[in-house]
């Protein structure tokens, strides 16, 4: 069974689950099959259906978790978007800076970025960007993940399940 087939079957058996399913697959390698590679395959699951992380044609959209509302989207309707940073112009505390920037002075950028669904783009008046705003290099402003995301960038606010195909 491929990871995709396993995820599909698991999702069907758990129609109440909304979150991320990590499918661990093992492939024998080498002659005699005594080496093994282990791979973690990430699937988004809701309503008894599953979808692997993917981009829309043209790479303008993608599926996954909306960082504003926390909903899972199986279809590639999510976009990078920016919204005004409520703390624009205020000094950035040292503990929010990446390691290599600690000790330097930054102020919050006018805009902060996040991954958002169409509903949240409309509701929070966000502006869709193609590749995200990104940090502004060599500039004393700090474009951060929008506070609407509330820790979502690593998808930690979403339930995770694991399925080992061993």
Q: Which is nearer to Zn ion, 70 or 135 (CB)?
A: 70
Q: Is residue 117 involved in binding Zn ion (CB under 5 A)?
A: yes
Comparison of 79 and 109: residue with beta carbon closer to Zn ion: 79
Report the C-alpha gap between 48 and 19 in whole angstroms: 11
Shortest distance in whole angstroms from residue 67 CB to Zn ion: 8
When asked if residue 23 is in the footprint of Zn ion (CB under 5 A), the reply is no
Minimal CA–CA distance to 42: which of 21, 25, 26? 21
Distance of CA 36 to the CA centre of its chain: 29
45-84 residues in contact with Zn ion (CB under 5 A) are 66, 68-69
Tell me how far apart the alpha carbons of residues 44 and 19 are, in angstroms, rounded to a whole number.
6
- Is the distance from CB of 64 to CB of 35 less than 8 angstroms? no
Region binding Zn ion by CB under 5 A among candidate stretches 47-55, 112-120, 136-144, 150-158: 112-120
Residues that bind Zn ion (CB under 5 A): 66, 68-69, 117, 120
């Amino acid at each position: 069974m491929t990871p995709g087939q396993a995820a599909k079957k698991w999702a069907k058996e758990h129609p109440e689950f909304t979150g991320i399913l990590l499918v661990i697959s093992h492939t024998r390698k080498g002659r005699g099959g005594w080496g093994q590679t282990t791979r973690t395959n990430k699937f988004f699951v809701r309503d008894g259906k599953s979808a692997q992380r993917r981009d829309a044609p043209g790479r303008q959209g993608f599926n996954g978790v909306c960082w504003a509302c926390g909903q899972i989207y199986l279809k590639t309707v999510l976009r990078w978007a920016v919204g005004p940073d409520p703390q624009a112009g205020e000094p950035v505390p040292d503990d929010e800076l990446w390691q290599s920037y600690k000790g330097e002075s930054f102020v919050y950028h006018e805009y902060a970025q996040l991954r958002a669904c169409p509903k949240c783009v409309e509701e929070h008046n966000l502006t869709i960007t193609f590749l995200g705003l990104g940090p502004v290099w060599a500039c004393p402003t700090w474009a951060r993940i929008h506070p609407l995301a509330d820790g979502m960038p690593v998808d930690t606010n979403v339930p995770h399940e694991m399925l080992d195909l061993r």
